[in-house]
Amino acid sequence: MYALLSTESENMINKLLYNIQMADESTSDWITFYHQNWIIAPLNKYMSKIDDEVWIASPDNTNVAKAAHALSNHCRKSLKLVTAIIQSDKKFKIY
């Protein structure tokens, strides 16, 4: 799987996926899924249309998104209904 992230051309990715499928026919659904452009593009910069400078400057994890999500929940926005009710009960001591 790591090879999908580091392979340096579309042709090499196609060969890699083909070799995986030939090694184990039960991977057919997996290969079909990962062979879609919208799935492979965010995983491999050579399959993406994102400029190299932007790709390199982008973080390789989702910590920014997680922090934004945590902040929105801290401010009591975008909470699930049950979570909002429980937090409101705690804040106003409604039992």
40 and 71 in a single domain? The answer is no
- Residue 29, φ and ψ in degrees, nearest 5: -65, -40
The pLDDT, as a whole number, for residue 28 is 83
Mark whether 71 and 50 lie in a shared domain.
no
Q: Is residue 12 exposed (0-12), middle (13-18) or buried (19+ Cβ within 10 Å)?
A: middle
Whether 8 and 51 map to the same domain: the answer is yes
Residues 13 and 34 in one domain: yes
Whether residues 17 and 48 fall in one domain: yes
Residues 50 and 77 reside in one and the same domain: no
- Structural domain tally of the chain? 2
What global pTM score does this model have?
A: 0.52
Separation CA 95–CA 73 (nearest Å)? 22
Question: Which domain does 76 fall in, by range?
Answer: 63-92
pLDDT at 70: 56
* pLDDT tens across the length of the chain (95 residues): 677 777 888 888 888 888 888 888 888 888 888 888 888 888 888 888 888 888 788 776 666 556 555 555 555 556 666 666 666 666 656 55
Q: Are residues 11 and 48 in the same domain?
A: yes
CA angle 51, 54, 59 (to 5 degrees): 140
The pLDDT assigned to 43 comes to 80
Q: How far apart are CA 21 and CA 66, in angstroms?
A: 34
Q: Report pLDDT for 90.
A: 63
Kindly state whether residues 40 and 14 are assigned to the same domain: yes
Residues 67, 53: one domain? Answer: no
The number of CA neighbours under 13 Å toward the Cβ of 53 is 0
Alpha helix locations (H) across the chain? 2-6, 10-23, 28-34, 37-40, 52-57, 63-74, 81-92
**pLDDT (0 to 100) of residue 94:** 54
User: Are 70 and 43 within one domain?
Assistant: no
